[in-house]
Chain A
């Protein structure tokens, strides 16, 4: 520890590294092993570190109970909500970057976007509930896609605004002199230049929508329309000790997202932006 920069590490360093790795990974390990235990082994008063008779029966019943239907709902809602947000936010951000709206409209709009990002979503829940009933959007995946704009739209606007702001204007000016139209410039010149930023934004937005719970809870009634967080909560509440199946769902829900870990790490480390959430 004598040197802050040297790459030679004290043995204690490796011990700490090991402890932190174990603390980090243990719950994930526990999800995996519990999902392979039989229902009897799960509720034993002496928990076993490894399944004594590994079985896939939990996964079989999870799949039979319609897991993939719910996963499809989650995927459909998360991806559609993100696509909608990306479209709206790219258009809006481009306008905000290249045009000065009167009455300090640019700053006002951006501050409002930030306020919504900060606001606990439950604050909007009551009026949104009655609006969505009237529009027939309750208990429907389309309704969920719309209401998720509360999360994904402010996030996408804030991120994409940042990326577009960093782009030089020279390419657009050159294209304009060549007589290209505004829409052509936006889709053929600006979007390709901002590609990396847009991909990053969409990944984070999909993860956020994939994880959303409050509006899914309030807006969806029919089991076949539920998203995965709802399915998991129902398991926690109703089947107090069906932990094997619960952890099976947990692992299947987690794996697709863990896939993005190295991307997320790279993104943060390259320091594109720190206001990620």
Chain B
């Protein structure tokens, strides 16, 4: 029997091993490596590698560009998440219940999240174009001033937010409408019999019941928007000025354009810490659920 038990656990170790090895290779090793590098001044081109202790950390905290990247990432993440979650809930409320053509409408409604991100960047770049873009054309036709969507420092980040909201509101919508579908209709009927107004029903019944799912949705969107890289690379390259510089883009540029591997690693550790902070709640919630 002990022999058998030994064999049994041996089997489980054996089948877990490949995944563990891949995770070690692709994630644990890189994180440890980044952590070590963050204490060095290390430029890949000049190949000089000097231990500077916390030097990189202090330098980064004092660096305007890094702080700007941090601020932009936060602004983007908060605005995009808020926009998507609020619109998603509003749409789920609006399209609650049955109506003709609901299924087709829902399938069309999720198209934006199915389209490849780079294709989305491409089409929005044409729509946003200052001289020959459709949006500015319509603005001019109606007598308004054209807007420098991606070339005006004060607007570029918000233009990227709009794209993200267009792309991911469907995700919030479909998640919220699935969650609302699981609430028994009798609850609403009972509230109506008691004479509760629509708004009152929404805020004192629907929202509290959905609070867990709304929290999860906010976490998922915050995590995802915090990674913002591809849209910035394709649309603005961090500009104009540094108005769309994000943390991911900053690390990419320090590491792969300037080859300051030490500094890029330090920035990576910063991001890791911030993300760990954000996701602490998320992980706690998920583990509790299991």
Contact = CB atoms under 8 A, between A and B. Distances in A.
Interface of A: 1-7, 9, 13, 16-17, 20-21, 23-25, 27-28, 30-31, 34, 43-47, 87-89, 91-92, 94-96, 98-99, 101, 107, 109-116, 118-129, 131, 146-147, 149-150, 153, 157, 165, 182-183, 186, 207, 210-211, 213-214, 217-218, 228-229, 232-233, 235-237, 241, 243, 246-247, 249-251, 253-254, 257-258, 260-262, 264-265, 268-269, 271, 274-275, 277
A92 B224 contact: no
B16 A261 contact: no
Contacts of A123: 30-31, 34, 251, 268, 271-272
Nearest to B289: A275
B61 interface: no
Contact of B117 (A125, A157, A229, A235): A229
Interface of B: 8-9, 11-13, 15-16, 18-20, 22-23, 25-31, 33-34, 37, 91, 94-99, 103, 105-112, 114-127, 131-134, 137, 166, 170, 174-175, 177-179, 181-182, 185, 188-189, 192, 198, 201-202, 213, 216, 220, 223-224, 226-227, 229-230, 233-235, 247-248, 251-252, 255-256, 261, 264-265, 268, 271-272, 275-276, 278-279, 282-283, 286-287, 290
Contacts of B26: 124, 128, 146-147, 149-150, 153
A271 B182 contact: yes
Q: Top 3 closest A-B pairs, CB basis?
A: A92-B19, A99-B12, A127-B33
Given A34-B123, A122-B227, A236-B235, 11 more contacts: A4-B192, A20-B91, A47-B132, A95-B13, A146-B26, A214-B230, A229-B117, A232-B234, A250-B116, A261-B114, A271-B178
Given A5-B185, A253-B116, A254-B115, A13 B30 contact: no
Dominant secondary structure of chain A at its interface with chain B: helix
Contacts of A211: 116-118
A6 B97 contact: yes
29 contacts: A1-B198, A4-B192, A4-B198, A5-B185, A5-B192, A7-B99, A21-B109, A24-B109, A28-B115, A45-B137, A91-B15, A98-B12, A99-B9, A101-B16, A112-B28, A119-B275, A120-B229, A122-B229, A122-B268, A126-B33, A129-B256, A214-B230, A233-B121, A257-B115, A258-B114, A260-B114, A261-B110, A265-B103, A277-B223
B157 to A, nearest CB: 18
B19 A89 contact: yes
B115 to A, nearest CB: 5
Given A127-B33, A214-B230, A112 B107 contact: no
Given A4-B188, A118-B275, A126 B230 contact: no
Nearest to A7: B98
A247 B22 contact: no
Contacts, number: 290
B271 A111 contact: no
Interface centre among B37, B109, B123, B131 (most CB of A within 10 A): B123
B77 to A, nearest CB: 11
Contact of B272 (A99, A113, A119): A119
B18 A236 contact: no
A24 to B, nearest CB: 6
Contacts of A260: 114
A277 B255 CA distance: 27
